[in-house]
Structure 1
Amino acid sequence: MIWMLFLLLVSFQETPQKPKDLVWKYRILIIQGRNEPKLFEETLKAEIEERKLALFWFSEGKLEKTIYPKRIDEASFLSLIEKKERWILIGLDGGKKAVGVEDPDFETLKKIIDSMPMRRLERSRNG
């Protein structure tokens, strides 16, 4: 019991992650708006994980949902997306790859991600 309490306290003291902490580990998709994006559907989970995509959905400046397992510094993620944009895609290298003003469509995102040089390299290694 004490061990579990210790682990819980340590996890709360963990430094919140910033986008730079995800470079070369994850592609980042930041979505903002009132309606929950369809990208969180269970049927897409495997394809999202395969593409190393960390999803973050913000509504009115507050993180509503994510599939990323660690705490984040919400302000640093929100600083990457402009108010008029609905979503932004950041590549493994930390560079801005695409933005959109409409709801993100997974088929479109897949095409963008799968055309990236790092993704093509991943696919060739995995056969």
Structure 2
Amino acid sequence: MSFILGEKENLTLEDLRWKNRIVIYFPAKHHYPQFDLKSLEDELSERKIIFLSIPEHIQSNTAVSFDKNYLNALRENLSSSIAEGNWILIGLDGGIKLNKKGEPDWDYIFRTIDSMPMRQLEIKRIK
């Protein structure tokens, strides 16, 4: 899967603004699920989504790299439910569009993104 940023290291969310939508998953403490991102590759790529699961070791659908201290700060600032885990959807504009408990609900995420005005424009351009 190719992204505009390639393999740049030590990114921030600001570096991804206007280039990618981001789904960040903060697993519950001592819960480290593995995601079958290969099966979601087409949907993630089409919607320009970078997925980041941030437990002890990051899991992602791209080769982007973040500083460990930056990841810890993200967890502290954006994780609303450490006991149960949560995920957030960040739009192209850098704003938080969804913040939900549990593991990512990909159907809900895709439907939400597809209903956004910028995504509607993307869909029209594709057709």
**Aligned with 2:54: secondary structure?**
strand
Partner AA of 1:45 in structure 2: E
- 1:91 and 1:97 in contact (8 A); partners too: yes
Partner AA of 1:123 in structure 2: I
- 1:88 and 1:100 in contact (8 A); partners too: yes
- What's the counterpart of residue 17 of structure 1? 11
Give the distance between the partners of 2:66 and 2:95, measured in 1 at CA: 19
- What's the counterpart of residue 6 of structure 1? none
**Aligned with 2:121: secondary structure?**
helix
Partner AA of 1:124 in structure 2: K
Give the distance between the partners of 1:123 and 1:100, measured in 2 at CA: 26
| Counterpart mapping for 1:106-121 below 5 A | 106-121=106-121
Give the distance between the partners of 2:34 and 2:109, measured in 1 at CA: 13
Residue number among 27, 36, 48 corresponding to 1:52 in the alignment? 48
- 1:37 and 1:103 in contact (8 A); partners too: no
- What's the counterpart of residue 67 of structure 1? 61
Superposed structure 1 runs of 4+ greater than 6 Å apart: none
1:89 Cα offset (Å):
0.4
1:54 Cα offset (Å):
0.3
| Structure ranking higher on relative contact order (CA contacts 8 Å, 6+ apart) | 2
TM-score, normalised with respect to structure 2:
0.77
1:79 Cα offset (Å):
4.7
- 1:24 and 1:92 in contact (8 A); partners too: yes
Give 1 or 2 for the bigger CA radius of gyration: 1
Choose between structure 1 and 2: higher helix proportion.
1
1:68 Cα offset (Å):
2.6
- What's the counterpart of residue 31 of structure 1? 25
For structure 1, list consecutive stretches of 5 or more residues without a partner in the other structure. Answer: 1-10
1:76 Cα offset (Å):
4.9
TM-score, normalised with respect to structure 1:
0.77
Q: CA RMSD in A?
A: 2.0
Give the distance between the partners of 1:24 and 1:46, measured in 2 at CA: 20
- Number of aligned residue pairs: give it: 112
Partner AA of 1:17 in structure 2: L
**Aligned with 1:119: secondary structure?**
helix
Deviations 1:56-100 (A, max 9, x none): 0011xx343112322113245435522415100000000010011
Percent pairwise identity: 31
